[in-house]
Amino acid sequence: MGTGRLRPRDAWLVGGALGVAGLLALHSAVPNGVGRLGSLLETFLPWLGAAVPVLGCLALLGRSGAGLLACLAPAAVWLWMFGGMWLSSPPAASDLTVVQHNVADDNTDPAGTARALLATRAGLIAVEELTPAARPAYQAVLDGSHPHRAVHGTVGLWSAYPLSEVRPVDIRPAGFPGSWRRGLRATVSAPGGELAVYVVHLPSVRLGATGLASAARDESAALLAARIDDDPARRLLVVGDLNGTVRDRGLGPLTSRLDAPPTGFAFSWPAGLPVARIDQVLGRGAEVTEVSARDATGSDHLPLLGRVLLR
């Protein structure tokens, strides 16, 4: 007669599976005070699901029924959190398409990148890391089909529809110089009605020995959230490189005010092997029904195409 006790290998497998399930379900409980470990976890949160087949294979090889059964817990939590993005089909209709791209300031083929963005047939084309040297190449390709243009610092918006109320948006963290200009706002007169569009590029984050350095990005996100709070526009889009995922709590002051698309992982960075979507198309009063990553250009990011319903 068995004792009912788990073998050591079974215990390790069960503990590992339950640990993954716990990290998925309780990621917000991981502290952010030291090295911003919570934000780091939330940046790559969907990839915790990769542990399920690994643990399942180990359970099969070790003939561990308990380990195999325990794998159901993280699988169920992952499907609850991300299954809709993976399995759901977006609505077929959209009123507006927008392509957003960090084009990279060291891009050696800006004209080719501009042609790739034009090929998406998006009505709005938003770019970041637009340098003065590269700007003529983008204008030469895009101005014919998107004659309405707004540029401030290193962010730009080309539109097939008229623009008005164009103005810079100051999202500089404390201590950043006045030459750091990474935000603009414009009102777009789209066929489905007017909407405000923010094009932004939040400060970069760095991963080092002390963890994730994201304080400047988080401060910039809070400044942008305050601008959005004060914006009377009924319909609004925020597009740009936020240097963070929508689950990253560091962006919470901003993302809590906006709706993310319900379908599509659309990992956009790094271009060679995308592991996270840090480029975003988010809405308020304008429903972003789908986002999808497009083919690589000369940038270290992939372009992100968003489809929008104007409510």
Residues spanned by the domain of 82: 8-87
pLDDT tens-digit profile of 9-37?
889 999 999 999 999 999 999 998 888 89
81 and 103 co-located in one domain:
no
- In the chain, pLDDT over 90 holds for what percent of residues? 86
The last residue of one of the domains, among 36, 55, 87, is 87
Q: Is residue 1 part of a domain?
A: no
Residue 74 lies in a domain: yes
Cβ–Cβ under 8 Å, residues 285 and 311: yes
Give pLDDT tens digits for 217-226. 999 999 999 9
Residues 276, 234 share a domain: yes
| Cβ pair 172, 142 in contact under 8 A | no
Asked whether residue 57 is assigned to any structural domain, the reply reads yes
Length of the chain: 311
What's the order of all strands across the beta sheet hosting 155-159?
A: 148-152, 155-159, 124-128, 96-102, 304-310, 286-293
d(CA 256, CA 168): 23
**pTM of the complete model:** 0.92
In 119-169, at which residue ranges do the beta strands (DSSP E only) sit?
Answer: 124-128, 148-152, 155-159, 163-168
What residue type is assigned to position 226 of the chain?
A
Q: Which of 64, 87, 110 is the last residue of a domain?
A: 87
Distance, in Å, from the CA atom of 66 to the CA atom of 43, rounded to the nearest integer, reads 31
Q: What Cα–Cα distance (Å) separates residue 271 from each residue in 116, 140, 226, 266?
A: 14, 25, 31, 11
What CATH number is associated with residue 126?
Answer: 3.60.10.10
Question: Has residue 2 been placed in a domain?
Answer: no
Task: Identify whether 35 is part of a domain.
Answer: yes
d(CA 152, CA 162): 17
